[in-house]
Amino acid sequence: MSRTVCTLNANGIRSADRRGFSKWLARTQPDVLCLQEMRATEDDVDDALRSPAGYSTRWQCAQKKGYSGVALYSKPSPDRYSPGTGFEHCADEGRALRADFQDMSVVSLYVPSGSSSDERQQVKFKFLDHLIEFTGALVKEKRPLLLCGDFNIAHTAIDIARPKQN
């Protein structure tokens, strides 16, 4: 089955909506939408943004208010959702959400940034090491896997917003 899949770092879902997210979603109508950096909980937004008409939605929010978080919007509904990657250090940061459909699995992923401190960079390295194990286990399931997200990795200056500051 052919599907349209989109991924977006929202940089705050409420901010994204003020910039036209809901209009874009209604116009584009992707079958699966992976969102990262929600920076909100489901209680922070209205019903139309939390669960747009025609979509099954699931959010994996950070415990820290206004921080990270991922979501999946899909039609049709997946067979199941699986939150997280099993990496305990970031378990409360809303970093990953998997949806299993009959013919494939989709993961919305938001890798931690290491730019704030050396300690946080070490957390990112550990998360990436764990991610190799996590995705390896998914690949062993012998089903198509789509890993979407913000990996917080910039190979060259053109790959990052404001390269001089960042």
Residues with catalytic function: 150
- The secondary structure of residue 45, as a DSSP letter, is S
- The sign one gets for the Cα dihedral 121, 163, 65, 32 is negative
Q: Are 74 and 99 in contact (CB under 8 A)?
A: yes
* Contact in structure between 105 and 98 (CB atoms under 8 Å): yes
- CA distance linking residue 114 with residue 11, whole number of Å: 17
Taking the C-alpha atoms of residue 86 and residue 131, their distance in angstroms, rounded to an integer, is 9
Give the DSSP letter of residue 159.
G
Taking the C-alpha atoms of 90, 91, 97 and 101 in order, what is their torsion angle to the nearest 10 degrees?
130
Which tokens sit at 25?
A: 């979603």
Rounded-to-integer distance, Cα 16 and Cα 31, Å? 19
